[in-house]
Structure 1
Amino acid sequence: MRIEVKCEVENCKYWAEGDQCVADSIMVVADRGHQAVNERETICDTFEKV
């Protein structure tokens, strides 16, 4: 199953034209523990600076 993942972080090595994320997998974690109250409390651990 293919899932489209959008990303606006242009300095990530997995960012591609059209705000596409081209990583093989995505790891998203909560900022504190294992629960997030809103999207601002999440972090993409897949990020790698170019």
Structure 2
Amino acid sequence: MTQNILCEVSSCVHNVNQENKCGATQIYVVNNKSKNASNSEETDCKTFEPTS
């Protein structure tokens, strides 16, 4: 499994030094519309935590 997770969400605490690299120990992605997503727009990252 890859260790290089990219993310451009600058308002997330896991965005390491705002360099678009996710520093979370694990990533949790879920479907947001149906049971079987057919594209990335139909998924959500539940790992997101807002910066304070």
Structure-1-length-normalised TM-score: 0.86
RMSD, aligned α-carbons: 1.5
Q: What SS class does the counterpart of residue 30 from structure 2 fall into?
A: strand
- Asked if residue 4 in structure 1 is aligned to residue 35 in structure 2, the reply is no
**Identical amino acids, percent of aligned pairs:** 36
Which has more helix, going by share of residues?
2
How does 1:3-42 map onto structure 2 within 5 Å?
3-17=3-17, 18-42=19-43
Which has more strand, going by share of residues?
1
Q: AA paired with 1:28? A: V
Structure-2-length-normalised TM-score: 0.83
Long gaps (5+) in structure 2: none
Long gaps (5+) in structure 1: none
Provide the aligned length of Structure 1 versus Structure 2. Answer: 50
